[in-house]
């Protein structure tokens, strides 16, 4: 095709291409299916054009390509371009940090998500760099001493690696400790939920029971090792619906589950597990977020260790007010001696594991102090390459007002 002197063909193609990319980007942001472009968006645009604009505008709109394959190709091109821009910004940054997280997609397949934090336009910026499917699963894939990501990074880029930590993954590993009797209670709770959820008929019957009893929730939640917060959510939902679960097990004549679930000791252990996993989940969420730093995360860890010590002291005097569900379940009863021993053992084990997994971090170092409050740090304790700049900043009276 030959161009005319006004190069209008070039202009039309450029506009159509831009429109196609813009619409593809709008489809990708809310994670809509690619077929929505040709199946819904384009007909809507054409209909609006026919009503408000001229017929020649309608013809121009028809030439915008929004087929399934085209939208996918546009989204891939956009993703590649965004990644290239981020890599360029990271290379221009004097320093950067990467944050690796393991999650799951909608088909329960493990995914490695890599975030990068860098200095751009004189501010700290954070973006998702890429995601990739994982063959391994869980925190060991991140911090394994033989084949984990930490080991691979140290082998490949030792000259660039200043500091490497896995705060959230260490927390996930440290939280796994559980005494035998509490582990048995957790496993039994998972079996009960699986019994109700694994059958479509059981799920429908339980939903009908929920409707008849006008409960706040109508379904139990599955537990899976992949999702870090699933234990707490599963236990909280099971404990909240315990009366409905008892009625359902009676109806199904599941006497082995029913006898175990109605037992007071089982209910007390379940209440404690609900409380402690809720606290662990709360800590896990605090360790995540765009504005978190290594220093703030380790402050959260130290605060949680102090809580574990306080809880252990209170349980020693049979005070369980810090565990709301357990406190409500026991009421005026005396705390069972075996349960008390299990709780104290668990709290002490959690404290020991958290100290073990985070023993290599010194949150009281001069660098940490300088980050928190640079005006109270002894200059001689800092690295020589930052001492002069630190003195200038310390003498700047305008900064002391912030």
Q: Does the residue 2 lie in any domain?
A: no
Shared domain for 326 and 189, answered yes or no, is yes
pLDDT at 264 over 60: yes
Determine the average pLDDT of the residues in 191-199.
Answer: 78
Determine the average pLDDT of the residues in 110-122.
Answer: 82
Residue 135, C-beta contacts closer than 8 angstroms, at least 6 positions apart: 110
The residue that leads in pLDDT, 371 or 145, is 371
Query: What's the burial of 89, exposed, middle or buried (CB within 10 Å: 0-12/13-18/19+)?
Result: middle
- Angle between helix 180-197 and helix 255-262 axes, rounded to 10 deg: 130
Q: Does the residue 160 lie in any domain?
A: yes
Give the integer Cα–Cα distance in Å for 46 and 60.
Answer: 10
3-state secondary structure of 360: coil
Most confident of 52-66, 176-190, 238-252, 356-370: 176-190
Q: Does the residue 288 lie in any domain?
A: yes
Shared domain for 135 and 280, answered yes or no, is no
Q: Angle CA(247)–CA(252)–CA(256) in degrees, nearest 5?
A: 90
Shared domain for 246 and 135, answered yes or no, is no
- Angle between helix 68-92 and helix 8-28 axes, rounded to 10 deg: 80
Res 130: pLDDT? 80
Q: How many independent structural domains does the chain possess?
A: 4
Shared domain for 191 and 340, answered yes or no, is yes
Confidence of residue 347 (pLDDT cuts 50, 70, 90): very high
pLDDT above 90 coverage of the chain, percent: 20
Give the integer Cα–Cα distance in Å for 249 and 132.
Answer: 42
3-state secondary structure of 125: strand
Confidence of residue 158 (pLDDT cuts 50, 70, 90): low
Shared domain for 143 and 201, answered yes or no, is no
Confidence of residue 314 (pLDDT cuts 50, 70, 90): very high
Q: Structure tokens of 16?
A: 């159509």
Shared domain for 318 and 259, answered yes or no, is yes
Shared domain for 143 and 266, answered yes or no, is no
Instruction: Write out the residue range of the structural domain in which residue 121 sits.
Output: 93-164
Q: Does the residue 79 lie in any domain?
A: no
Q: Does the residue 142 lie in any domain?
A: yes
Shared domain for 294 and 350, answered yes or no, is yes
pLDDT at 323 over 80: yes
Q: Out of 201-215, 299-313, 375-389, which region has the weakest mean confidence (pLDDT)?
A: 201-215
Q: Out of 23-32, 139-148, 348-357, 382-391, which region has the weakest mean confidence (pLDDT)?
A: 139-148
Q: What is the pLDDT of residues 3-62, one digit of tens each?
A: 444 445 445 567 878 888 888 888 888 888 888 888 888 888 888 877 777 666 767 777
Q: Does the residue 171 lie in any domain?
A: no
Give Cα separations from 381 to 29, 299, 390 (angstroms): 48, 21, 11
Shared domain for 238 and 371, answered yes or no, is no
Q: What distance, in Å, lies between the first and last C-alpha atoms of the chain? A: 65
Shared domain for 348 and 295, answered yes or no, is yes
Mean pLDDT of the chain: 78
Its sign, for the CA torsion 215, 216, 219, 223, is: negative
The residue that leads in pLDDT, 85 or 147, is 85
Shared domain for 106 and 155, answered yes or no, is yes
Res 224: pLDDT? 46
Give the integer Cα–Cα distance in Å for 249 and 257.
Answer: 7
Q: Does the residue 285 lie in any domain?
A: yes
């Amino acid at each position: 095709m030959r161009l005319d002197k006004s190069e209008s063909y070039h202009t039309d193609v450029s506009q159509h291409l831009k429109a196609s990319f813009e619409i593809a980007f709008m489809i990708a942001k809310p994670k809509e299916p690619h077929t929505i472009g040709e199946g819904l968006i384009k007909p809507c645009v054409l209909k609006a054009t026919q009503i408000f604009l001229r017929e020649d505008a309608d013809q121009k709109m028809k030439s915008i390509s929004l087929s399934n394959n085209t939208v996918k190709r546009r989204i891939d091109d956009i993703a590649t371009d965004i990644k290239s821009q981020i890599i360029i910004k990271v290379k221009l940054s004097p320093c950067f940090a990467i944050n690796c997280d393991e999650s799951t997609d909608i088909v329960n397949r493990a995914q490695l998500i890599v975030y990068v934090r860098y200095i751009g336009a004189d501010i700290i910026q954070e973006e998702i760099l890429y995601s990739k499917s994982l063959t391994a699963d869980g925190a060991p894939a991140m911090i394994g001493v033989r084949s984990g990501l930490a080991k691979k990074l140290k082998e490949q880029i030792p000259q660039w690696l200043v500091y490497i930590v896995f705060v959230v993954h260490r927390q996930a590993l440290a939280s796994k400790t559980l005494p035998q009797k509490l582990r048995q209670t957790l496993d039994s709770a998972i079996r009960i939920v699986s019994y109700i959820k694994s059958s479509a008929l059981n799920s429908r019957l339980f939903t009908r029971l929920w409707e008849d009893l006008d409960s706040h929730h109508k379904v139990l939640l599955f537990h899976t090792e992949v999702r870090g917060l699933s234990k707490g959510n599963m236990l909280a939902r099971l404990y909240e619906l315990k009366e409905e679960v008892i009625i359902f097990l009676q109806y199904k004549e599941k006497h082995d589950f029913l006898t175990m679930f109605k037992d007071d000791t089982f209910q007390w252990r379940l209440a404690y597990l609900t409380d402690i996993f809720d606290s662990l989940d709360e800590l896990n969420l605090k360790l995540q977020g765009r504005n978190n730093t290594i220093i703030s995360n380790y402050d959260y860890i130290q605060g949680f260790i102090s809580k574990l010590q306080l809880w252990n002291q209170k349980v020693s005097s049979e005070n369980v007010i810090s565990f709301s569900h357990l406190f409500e379940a026991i009421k005026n009863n005396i705390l069972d001696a075996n349960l008390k021993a299990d709780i104290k053992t668990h709290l002490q084990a959690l404290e020991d594991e958290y100290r073990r997994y985070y023993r290599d971090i010194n949150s009281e170092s001069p660098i940490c102090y300088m980050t928190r409050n640079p005006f109270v740090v002894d200059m001689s304790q800092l690295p020589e390459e930052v001492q002069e700049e630190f003195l200038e900043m310390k003498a700047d009276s305008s900064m002391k007002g912030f």
